[in-house]
Structure 1
């Protein structure tokens, strides 16, 4: 996802949370949220770390099938594509990946909630067949603000994520009755899948505050944690920090996440600083977005660091397709020709690797871990 500021420095957490002390309590104070609900205690450090010890090292990708331009084309009945999902997750399995981060969208549920849940089940069956666990993402503040059900637009040639849509986007600020719909949506999905072992984590809100929203996203962030805690799924809850300037959002995310997640698209030196700044919380960590070749965030220099420190490694992009994430955020190629250096993604649409050397690195790290 596009970052206005994707470097998280070591002083970030110290500056933001010095008043809270280096050692966080295992339970949260009973503070009132904007929804008039009270968020119950998050997982203790012991519970989170025991849960983590029972899991293999997580390594995978943010997954959108190459035939889908966005979340709606992924999940709507007319465009849901289990054959492509099966084929592409098979390629992921073959190189040793075991986890995918997958975005949902409330409109796909609103139009057809029972069909949407059936398609989620179908996806989970396919992923499980390939020994792949899933992180589901509910809300997202990135890219296009407006959307509608039905046929989605064609990709704009050479433009990164030209058709990706936010959820709920600007509609949250222009509709008087959207929040109750979102609450019903979140609770319905969580109630349906709260005991599903194929789901390893719920990522409640991707990059809250992006697209200039800043603290306008805080009420929904607080609400989605409240809704999720009221369901009390067996899986842990999180929302990943991504921008050091969003002080209030970062504070809330850290204080309410069972598992610490973060995004970092910088080189190994700055990435390690980000890791060091988060270790003080003594909780499992997953990098849920990394790998941007232009910024020297590579499989060769980042994935070994994450493996050595038992931090989950989820890069952006598996197969180059309609989302156009092989193009850089800020370097469109209007004629749609292939970029000299791919920004994200591992495979061409036919399953051949973009760089065989990268795949060799991934396979070696995964095979060593599996022994």
Structure 2
């Protein structure tokens, strides 16, 4: 096997300020183990602000919970940042990211950092965050940049500075696996918030997303870039892609996507994306009530050699063990019998022992 350092050397000339070729992306991927992990936020944080702001950064909990991930064989994590944390404390955020990377590296886990995000609260506010809404899924998660940041072009230089500063600080850092430049960029946001209309959201994001890719590439990262597809019916080259999806597929070095449905749907999505000839990363999956489970999805991912990063790790202030419909029907008096996401209780007990046994067994099998 080619070492990861050799792989980085072989593609470094192609990874500066332009998209990787498909063969370069595949060479990088062939040097990776089968990537398995979770979208990670410590149980003590309700959102990206509480994870990364100085007052609430919690390395003790982060280190403990990353240890649980390593203990079941996980070697990757997807971790969300926020532009407003950098705007208020740029040097502090860089220091805390470096601290996080040190802890992750000690556990053999490499993160995919997410720079921007279009989901949930469209009006992000730094500082102390509200308490979780009882019985409600992701009741405090914040968009980045949010509605104002999208609409106001005068804020875009700040967003550019953030992207270049964060990526530039870790552009040559082997502890970073990849950069996910924008999570579900054309998502209207969801929940009960007042959100942008779909047409306006797509238009604004389609204008900004190519610039974000350019900003990140200008920092010369050795890591690949991606932005994940997440909705609409057909992602194949002949599919009816919207403007944002076309940008995602045209700009991503490696193709990432989300799937929270039955294994037949996952297999269909993989088949749609194979013709692009690039490595595939499933960066969100596992919603038990939707038919997306570890026992079904991991088997598909292992067979197809698709990286597998589920949503939710330790149940905590994000409350993502609650289903999406808890925004309309909060689980206040009774907890759901079936957890929607998440793997562990806050004290480290598995929600289902059979699941962690399966993850541990599959991640320790030799790579095909």
* Shift of residue 232, structure 1, vs aligned partner: 2.0
Structure 1 residues 268-279: aligned runs within 5 Å = 268-279=263-274
| Structure 1 residues 216 and 333: alpha-carbon distance in aligned structure 2, compared to 1, 3 A threshold | same
Q: Distance in 2 between matches of 1:259 and 1:239?
A: 9
Aligned length: 333
Q: Distance in 1 between matches of 2:266 and 2:177?
A: 24
In the alignment, is the contact (CA less than 8 A) between 1:260 and 1:286 conserved in 2? yes
Q: Distance in 2 between matches of 1:171 and 1:275?
A: 35
Q: Distance in 2 between matches of 1:338 and 1:71?
A: 25
TM normalised by structure 1 equals 0.87
* Shift of residue 176, structure 1, vs aligned partner: 4.6
* Shift of residue 175, structure 1, vs aligned partner: 3.4
Aligned pair partner of 1:260 in 252, 255, 258: 255
* Shift of residue 215, structure 1, vs aligned partner: 2.9
In the alignment, is the contact (CA less than 8 A) between 1:161 and 1:325 conserved in 2? yes
Structure 1 residues 43-62: aligned runs within 5 Å = 43-62=20-39
* Shift of residue 282, structure 1, vs aligned partner: 1.1
In the alignment, is the contact (CA less than 8 A) between 1:204 and 1:224 conserved in 2? yes
Q: Distance in 1 between matches of 2:250 and 2:142?
A: 28
| Structure 1 residues 336 and 229: alpha-carbon distance in aligned structure 2, compared to 1, 3 A threshold | farther
Name the structure 2 match of 1:149: 126
After alignment, is 272-281 or 205-214 more displaced? Answer: 205-214
Q: Distance in 2 between matches of 1:271 and 1:215?
A: 28
1:164 lines up with 2:164 in the alignment: no
Gaps of 5+ in 1: 1-38
In the alignment, is the contact (CA less than 8 A) between 1:157 and 1:336 conserved in 2? no
In the alignment, is the contact (CA less than 8 A) between 2:202 and 2:243 conserved in 1? no
Name the structure 2 match of 1:305: 300
Name the structure 2 match of 1:323: 318
Aligned pair partner of 1:339 in 336, 339, 345: 336
Name the structure 1 match of 2:168: 191
Q: Distance in 1 between matches of 2:366 and 2:128?
A: 42
Question: Any idea what the Cα deviations from partners look like across 1:327-361, whole Å, max 9, x if unmatched?
Answer: 00113434163211100000000000001111111
SS at match of 1:131: coil
1:114 lines up with 2:94 in the alignment: no
Name the structure 1 match of 2:53: 76
After alignment, is 66-75 or 246-255 more displaced? Answer: 246-255
Gaps of 5+ in 2: 1-15, 189-197, 234-240
In the alignment, is the contact (CA less than 8 A) between 1:244 and 1:250 conserved in 2? no
* Shift of residue 174, structure 1, vs aligned partner: 4.8
Name the structure 2 match of 1:229: 217
Q: Distance in 2 between matches of 1:83 and 1:337?
A: 30
SS at match of 1:354: coil
TM normalised by structure 2 equals 0.88
| Structure 1 residues 107 and 336: alpha-carbon distance in aligned structure 2, compared to 1, 3 A threshold | farther
In the alignment, is the contact (CA less than 8 A) between 1:326 and 1:343 conserved in 2? yes
Q: CA RMSD in A?
A: 1.5
* Shift of residue 138, structure 1, vs aligned partner: 0.5
1:348 lines up with 2:345 in the alignment: yes
After alignment, is 182-191 or 205-214 more displaced? Answer: 205-214
1:201 lines up with 2:178 in the alignment: yes
